[in-house]
Amino acid sequence: MLKRILVTGGAGFLGSHLCERLVEMGHDVICLDNFFTSQKANVMHLLDRPNFELIRHDITLPIWLEVDEIYNLACPAAPGHYQYNPIKTMKTSLMGSINVLGMAKRCRAKVLQASTSEVYGDPEVHPQPESYRGAVNPIGQRACYDEGKRAAEALFMDYHRMNGVPVRIVRIFNTYGPRMHPYDGRVVSNFIRQALAGEDITIYGDGSQTRSFCYRDDMVEGIIRMMNVADNFTGPVNLGNPEEFTIRELAELVVELTGSRSRLISKPLPPDDPTRRRPDIALAKSKLGWQPTMPLREGLERTIAWFRSIDISHYRPPTPRY
């Protein structure tokens, strides 16, 4: 069945790929974005499609639309972006959620919240299952994002329990791929940008901290499957790649794949930076029949090819320190 679908944050890295998939599926897609951290270029190729519409709007302000489904992806998701304006980040998570949930209640629409692995903080349990409640510093530099997303999950479940709104919650682990903002502060984009420029590659700490990297196509597939899951399963459900790599291993692989002569240099670890991060995806496997398929090496090759194809001068660093 074809639906009218709203994607907030639809011009962002993941949002633009989600819009692309939904348009190809034939749905009537409304992309809403305020372009705080995203690029209009990400969705330019969709503007002439009859089933795609772009609206410039800040989701912290109310908007009235008639839709069947809402994917709520609106929020700066990278440290370089969400720490640039932490109050704006928190407003987007809280007020944005209230606005999309109000719309979903009025329209009787299904609504999916793009939450994050950051709700687990610096985890004391490894890998992280959905039952783990996290170890988050509520007054730290990352709290605007971590606590904003945790509060948004609470709002989604309260609207579900109190008003019967059909909600879905996914917790997204590190994701990468073409259309990443080169200056978003994420480790993959930092390393590729520095390697292609022949600059020193900055590793924070000794590089022994770990992450799990999921390619964008796998992530979009998981998000769509969660929205369309048959029963009343609300989640939350982890979406991410369970393969674990150290930051140093990632840096060395990027240097190899780019053919760069960049050196690895170390800087102090930022406050509250998680030491380990790896999803337990047993629930996604059982409920959604989903697991990632893209190997890191191949995904990085595709991402590096995209970075080589862009004019990096068209992208603005979000903060002076980048």
Instruction: Tell me how far apart the alpha carbons of residues 249 and 200 are, in angstroms, rounded to a whole number.
Output: 16
Judge if pTM exceeds 0.85.
Answer: yes
Contact 170, 222 (CB under 8 A): yes
Q: How confident is the model at residue 318 (pLDDT cuts 50, 70, 90)?
A: low
pLDDT for residue 320: 46
Q: Looking up tokens 């998570």, which residue turns up?
A: 93
CB–CB of 59/94 below 8 Å?
no
Q: Is the pLDDT of residue 266 over 90?
A: no
State the pLDDT at residue 80: 67
Rounded CA gap, 188 and 194, in Å? 10
What is the band of 13 on the pLDDT scale with cuts at 50, 70, 90? very high
User: What local confidence, expressed as pLDDT, does residue 21 receive?
Assistant: 98
Q: Which residues are catalytic, by number?
A: 145
Say which CATH topology domain 4-176+216-239 has.
Answer: Rossmann fold (3.40.50)
Domain ranges of the chain: 4-176+216-239
Q: For residue 97, which of 23, 165, 29, 40 has the smallest C-alpha distance?
A: 165
The predicted-structure confidence for 68-126, as pLDDT tens digits, reads as follows 999 999 998 767 677 778 899 999 999 999 999 999 999 999 999 999 999 998 888 88
